[in-house]
Amino acid sequence: MGKNSVDFEPKIIAFLCNWCAYAGADLAGTSRTQYPSNIRIIKLMCTGALDPTYVIKVLLEGADGVLIGGCHPGDCHYINGNYKARRRVAILKSSLETAGLESERVWLRWISASEGVYFAETVKEMVEHIKKLGPNPLKMEWAI
Amino acid sequence: MVWKIQGVEGENYLESIKNFLNQLLKSKNVDAVLVPKRFPDGNNTAQVLITDPGKLDDIDPLAPVQMVNSAQIVKELTKDPVKEKIASVLRPCEVRATIELIKLKQILDARLYIIGYDCPGVYNVKDYIEKLEKSNGIGKEGFTLSYVNSFLSGKQDTIRESCQLCTHFTGNSADINIAWVGSNSSDVFIEVNSEKGQSLIEGLAGEKIGDLIERNQKINKILDERKKRQENEIDDFLGFMQRCIRCYNCREVCPLCYCKECLLKPEKMGYSSDRYLRRATKKGQIKMPVDTVLYHLTKINHMAFSCVSCGLCEQACPMDIPLGRIYNVFGRKAQALFDYEPGRSLDDELPVATFKEDELKEIEDVKE
């Protein structure tokens, strides 16, 4: 597997909240806004309900990136789930660093239901970034 | 506030502590005391729940051995509301774990009084038993007391690694702390840290004394040495995890792993023969048992911010993975994010149960 950005198509798992980021992705779709097909979306009710274990699992299984998308601060459907998610993601990224894994592969973004274009831009930006980073070295790592 | 209670001076620290607990039970300020006590053959200690002051002989909270983190025992003891008041005599790491469990609503603290004490550290259980056997002649109490002397003279190289790294070895977040480090005689002092603590010593004859200057100097010297030992990185975390056999021992003994339904149980993880084969096909091969890195990283993400670094996980590990050091590094990093110190105070909210609106902006975006 080459690190060349031409022949490497990253696989990115996106955990999107039902009320904002997922609706934003939906809007991108219904508006026919183009974005790369590298993303696999998993819908959650709230980013605050995302157990870090699922992010760790997909990274260990070889996903090249994880995008966590929630409501903008202050807009959470459950009042403050996104603020709590931010704390959990902070702990997660710190623990990945300490474990010697690449925390850069985990992104947290706030995307509202009206931001279909911003969702598409985020995906484009992330795909470009991960392409530069190269494939997840854990993809073929069996001893973990 | 430091108190000197009258009539507790014994021939040594253990006797002074015993005399103090005797006064507590007799005063009826508490109905029961939970305290480590030597077994009749003297070869080990266990936490014992004592209601009769006459049974306080052979208590040995300073014995350099820790079988379990007693916060787990306190949890068991307080799971139903009772009318009796219980004073639990705990090592500082157990005090801190107890406070975390109170915040996590796993310990009912209405009738619980937490008594901490200066902890000289412990050996690994295997080392303790071996050293105790070799020490015949000085008596079981003598073994503890000679250990305490070696602690005071700064010899710390053979104790458990978590204890060598411990920078919270006095019980200053307990209701009261039994202080003996820096005491010139065999006397002990009572540091009162809360209103509950004050009610505990109510009616006991004693006097308030000022700060123990020599004590602070001694403690700071030990703290400085230990801080130098603490590491900030783990070399080859993934390599250590290759030794893990996912026996769940570290989870069983961890005072902070309190979930009744653990996400990491095999049945929750959806392991089936079919799945193993599919996972093997994906990478061409797969290590069995699977998911040792996932197990530890998940455990770390679930509890590291509350990790009190008691080191029980390391003691329980059959594969000699230095989990005490590993969890200490992960824990301190997670805690530093929120300036959180587990067990410092009941007033500090758990980092994942609260938030600030204006914080952690740096993780909302990836810097290129």
pLDDT in tens, B197-209: 999 999 999 999 9
ipTM: 0.94
The confidence score (pLDDT) of residue B368 equals 44
Res. B189: pLDDT tops 50:
yes
Query: Does B242 contact A142 at a Cβ distance shorter than 8 Å?
Result: no
Of B234, B330, B352, Cβ closest to residue A87: B352
Q: Do B359 and A57 touch (CB under 8 A)?
A: no
Query: A133: part of which helix (H) or strand (E)?
Result: helix A116-133
What percent of chain B shows pLDDT beyond 90?
83
**Yes or no, beta carbons of B330 and A95 under 8 Å apart:** yes
Element (H, E) at B269: helix B266-269
Spatial distance between the Cα atoms of A88 and A105, rounded to a whole number of angstroms: 16
What Rg, from alpha-carbon coordinates, does chain B have? 22
Instruction: Examine the pLDDT at A3 and tell me if it is beyond 70.
Output: no
DSSP letter at B344 equals S
Q: What would the DSSP string read from start to end of A22-63?
A: HHHHHHHHHTT----TTEEEEEES-GGG--HHHHHHHHHTT-
Q: Which residue of A has its CA nearest to B280?
A: A142
Report how far residue B188's alpha carbon sits from residue B111's, in angstroms, rounded to the nearest whole number.
25
Mean per-residue pLDDT of chain B: 93
How far is B315 from B122, CA to CA, in rounded Å? 11
**Over the stretch B80-121, which tens digit does the pLDDT of each residue have?**
999 999 999 999 999 999 999 999 999 999 999 999 999 999
Selecting from B238, B285, B301 the residue whose C-beta is nearest the C-beta of A92 gives B301
Determine how many CB atoms are found less than 10 A away from the CB of residue B366.
20
Cβ atoms of B60 and B144 within 8 Å: the answer is: yes
- Provide φ and ψ at A139, rounded to 5°: -55, -40
Does residue B318 register a pLDDT over 90?
yes
Please provide the average confidence, as pLDDT, over all residues in chain A: 94
Closest-CA distance, A48 to chain B, in angstroms, reads 10
pLDDT at A7: 79
Confidence of residue B184 (pLDDT cuts 50, 70, 90): confident
Q: How far is CA B344 from the centre of its chain?
A: 13
- Spatial CA neighbour of A125 closest among A85, A58, A67, A55: A67
Whole-angstrom distance, CA of residue A104 vs CA of residue A115: 24
Residue A101 is predicted with a pLDDT of 95
Q: How confident is the model at residue A2 (pLDDT cuts 50, 70, 90)?
A: very low
Residues of chain A contacting B302 with CB distance shorter than 8 Å: 52
Residue B38 CB contacts under 8 Å (≥ 6 apart), including other chains: B44, B45, B58, B59, B60, B63, B140, B141
Domains and CATH numbers, chain A: 12-138 (3.40.50)
- Does pLDDT of B366 surpass 90? no
Which residue of chain B is at minimal alpha-carbon distance from A54? B298
A62-89 pLDDT tens trace: 999 999 999 999 999 999 999 999 999 9
CA distance B11 to B17: 11
* Nearest alpha-carbon partner for B3 in B190, B139, B186: B190
DSSP one-letter code for B302: H
A positions 72-131 inside 8 Å of B (CB)? 73-74, 80, 83-84, 86-96, 98-100, 104, 107-110, 129
Closest by CA to B305, choosing from B251, B256, B258, is B256
Query: What is the DSSP-derived secondary structure letter of residue B305?
Result: G
Residues 6+ apart with CB under 8 A from A86: A108, B355, B359, B360, B363, B364
Contacts of B125 (CB under 8 A, 6+ apart): B65, B67, B315
Report how far residue B324's alpha carbon sits from residue B247's, in angstroms, rounded to the nearest whole number.
17
pLDDT digits (tens, 9 = 90+) for B151-165: 998 887 789 999 999
Cα–Cα distance for residue pair A122/B184, rounded to 1 Å: 66
Chain B hits for A140, CB-CB cut-off 8 Å, are 283-284
Across the A:B interface, residue pairs with CB atoms under 8 Å apart total: 112
pLDDT at B1 over 90: no
DSSP per residue, B168-195 = --S-TTSSEEEE-TT-SSS--EEEE-SH
Structure tokens of A100?
């010697």
Q: How many helices (H) and strands (E) does chain A have?
A: 4, 4
Q: What was the pLDDT predicted at B137?
A: 60
Q: Is A130 exposed, middle or buried (0-12, 13-18, 19+ CB in 10 A)?
A: buried
Rounded to whole angstroms, the Cα distance separating B214 from B55 reads 34
Distances (CA, A) of B13 to A103, B90, B182: 50, 16, 12
Instruction: Name which of A90, A141, A143 is nearest B363 (Cβ-Cβ).
Output: A90
Query: Look-up: residue for tokens 């590990």?
Result: B317
Q: Read off the pLDDT of each residue in B39-67 and give the average, rounded to a whole number.
A: 93
Confidence check: pLDDT of B133 > 90: no
Tell me the nearest-neighbour CA distance from A25 into chain B, angstroms.
Answer: 18
Q: What is the CB neighbour count within 10 angstroms for residue B131?
A: 15
Query: For chain A, how many residues are written?
Result: 144
